[in-house]
Structure 1
Amino acid sequence: MTRPDASGGAALPSRTLGRSGVSVSALGFGAAAVAGLYEEVGEQEAAAAVDAAWEAGVRYFDTAPHYGLGLSERRLGEALRTRPRDDFTLSTKVGRILVPHEGGGDDLAQGFAVPATHRRRWDFSADGVRRSLEDSLTRLGLDRVDLVLLHDPDDHGEQAFREAYPALEELRSQGVVRAIGAGMNQTRMLTRFLTDTDVDAVLCAGRYTLLEQGALDGLLPSAAAVGKSVIVGGVFNSGLLADPTPGATYDYAAAPTDLLHRAVRMRDVTETRSVPLRAAALHFPFGHPAVASVLVGARSAAQVRDAAEQFHRPVPDAVWEALRARGLLPGEVPLPDGTVP
């Protein structure tokens, strides 16, 4: 389905998250990079990236307190403040409370090139969920978020299910938020959220890409079976599928040699058929019907425009067939139909 757009910018296809009534553009904007992920990003550059996303028709924006110690939320809220609020979908996350910190230094140990003005404190209590959301709304400067996700509860699973999830469910029933879910880099706990709770969607980062399809083992079939949605993040596996060259990163660290060689072989297959590897990586997740949106992180307007260009570039069936023929994609993996998602 393509949602009409009356506020400037091209329209992108949109999909509904489960039965929530919340729609997301098929291409979403991940706002970690504009908060200085790995390297500093200036205010004007960050604002230009969000503006470029809007002009490209992106209407789903994802952020979190973790990203740049709140900088992502502040910058995203400022960039969206003049946009009609009903024209976009916004998600943020709970599970980390930001506590003022006066020790100085930077946040690079956590991946962000920002001053360490705060420290993160894990909190998946019901009160922690409510406080985190209130703090996020203050930083965003907006009246509401549409989707709230439990962020990385890997080591806090029981508290997340026992306290944090019921708090989110209550906020949804009160109409404070419209949709709820969880966002993680693993699939097992996300599958449990799909099967054991009434979440609307989950965000799975890095586990359903051209390089790895672990989400097929349980997560995606479970989502399809119960009529819930999966948002796919990390579609480039932290950069390896965007530019498979020596020094490329995978899962936020240097890419292992075997995966680098595999990505290079994939690039050779796609480029021989005049398709950038980035385009194939963006299209691939849409082969599964449970996937509602693919999030792409971008730190500049140029990166946003490139992502939009790759999203709109058709990927012929011959590309997928060649990847399978060379053993680079398993035979059982569902594939896109060759059209724009």
Structure 2
Amino acid sequence: MRNRRVADGSVRGRGLPLPDLGLGCAPIGDLYAAVNPEVAAATVHTALALGSTLLDTAPKYGNGLSEQRLGQALASLDPNSYQLATKVGWSVTENRPPEPAFSADGVLRSLEGSMRRLGTDRFDIVHVHDPDDHLDQAVAETMPVLERLRDEGVIGTIGAGMNSDGLLADLVRRTDLDRVLIAGRYTLLEQGARSALLPLCLERGIEVIAAGVFNSGLLADPRPGAPYNYRPVPDEILARALRLKEICTRHEVPLRATALQFPAAHPAVRTVLIGAAHPDEVADNVALAQMRLPSALWSELREAGLIDAASPVP
């Protein structure tokens, strides 16, 4: 494998070191609400100023709007001051749903479009994006193209970004990835990635980027009707989230701080990726990541059966 975990537990391989906290740029592509372009740019600039130097986007986010706005925000900045990650696997056209594009030609056309929108000629990371129903094609056609571009220096590192920890683990076994992005599957509410994906990545020296740590916002504001994995929250999941909030409140800790710091404690996780659409959100997330949480909080969460006893905590 290209990355090897060495004796001191670090990862050696391609690419610059990742930051502890990265910026998910889907929200500046009008994911949840329309965002003023100037506010979008200020959001990116604030993230960089506060050390969140990994900027993650994709053509799927707003049918290219996220990439376009990110490119505008980065136009006057030194490319060495940030790490740029995008994704391939879906063809986007204005006013039409994204269509699968996991073929070699589809990958190249996707990257050309991303380069144009972002104003760049290289990427620090390129992930194959949500290949759940196209896994064999991703292995046979997508990955060889990405590996060639990595060898040519157009791409620094290659990875896969998915919501399914089981399918992502399968892809890790079948390909030569440097990094993976797992969304919503290693959180206070869902810890399935701990059983197979995270140990596999540790074994292979693959850095994990944990995204969706608020499970679409439920762990930011648990309430009836709140989104959970992009759908209305089921009653039993809401009850669990409210129990988490109750315990956090008793320890005078924001639930969001606990939700952000929990995945970061796993040794396989290098970066936690948090989406934001306003500079204040970025500053708040950075403060939450740096907040000192009492050990008694984690003990009570374990005693309540809300996190597994074997799960690492800060």
Q: TM-score range by the shorter chain?
A: over 0.9
CA distance in 1, matches of 2:294, 2:71: 38
Matching residue within 140, 164, 172 for 1:162: 140
Alignment root-mean-square deviation, CA = 1.5
Per-residue Cα deviation, 1:34-81 (whole angstroms, up to 9, x for no partner): 111122112122122112212222100000000001000010111122
How does the TM-score come out when normalised to structure 2?
A: 0.94
Is this contact kept in 2: 1:240–1:248, CA < 8 A?
yes
Deviation at 1:18, TM superposition (A): 5.6
Which ranges in structure 2 are unaligned for 5 or more consecutive residues?
1-8
Is this contact kept in 1: 2:11–2:205, CA < 8 A?
no
Distance change (3 Å), C-alpha of 1:296 and 1:18: farther
Matching residue within 146, 156, 162 for 1:178: 156
2:198 aligned residue: 220
Please list, as runs of the form range in 1=range in 2, the aligned pairs for 1:247-326 lying within 5 A after superposition. 247-326=225-304
Deviation at 1:124, TM superposition (A): 0.4
SS at structure 2 position matched to 1:146: strand
Is this contact kept in 1: 2:139–2:174, CA < 8 A?
no
Deviation at 1:193, TM superposition (A): 2.4
How many residues align? The count is: 306
Deviation at 1:119, TM superposition (A): 4.2
Is this contact kept in 1: 2:55–2:84, CA < 8 A?
yes
Q: Quick check: 166-175 or 51-60, which moved more?
A: 51-60
2:73 aligned residue: 79
Deviation at 1:172, TM superposition (A): 0.5
Distance change (3 Å), C-alpha of 1:285 and 1:313: same
2:24 aligned residue: 30
Amino acid at match of 2:232: A
1:333 aligned residue: 311
Deviation at 1:203, TM superposition (A): 0.4
CA distance in 1, matches of 2:108, 2:196: 31
Per-residue Cα deviation, 1:253-282 (whole angstroms, up to 9, x for no partner): 111111111111111111211210100111
Q: Quick check: 264-273 or 16-25, which moved more?
A: 16-25
Confirm whether residue 62 of structure 1 aligns to residue 56 of structure 2: yes
Matching residue within 83, 93, 103 for 1:89: 83
SS at structure 1 position matched to 2:123: coil
CA distance in 2, matches of 1:18, 1:158: 28
Deviation at 1:303, TM superposition (A): 1.2
Distance change (3 Å), C-alpha of 1:298 and 1:95: same
How does the TM-score come out when normalised to structure 1?
A: 0.87
SS at structure 1 position matched to 2:18: strand
Identity rate, percent = 48
Distance change (3 Å), C-alpha of 1:39 and 1:69: same
SS at structure 2 position matched to 1:178: strand
Per-residue Cα deviation, 1:128-184 (whole angstroms, up to 9, x for no partner): 111111110100012321100000001111110000011111110111101001100
Is this contact kept in 1: 2:135–2:171, CA < 8 A?
no
1:7 aligned residue: none
SS at structure 1 position matched to 2:259: helix
Deviation at 1:86, TM superposition (A): 1.0
1:113 aligned residue: none
Amino acid at match of 2:269: V
Confirm whether residue 146 of structure 1 aligns to residue 129 of structure 2: no
Deviation at 1:30, TM superposition (A): 0.3
Is this contact kept in 2: 1:22–1:179, CA < 8 A?
no
CA distance in 1, matches of 2:129, 2:297: 35
Is this contact kept in 2: 1:17–1:200, CA < 8 A?
no
SS at structure 2 position matched to 1:310: helix
CA distance in 2, matches of 1:235, 1:183: 14
2:188 aligned residue: 210
Matching residue within 194, 200, 209 for 2:172: 194
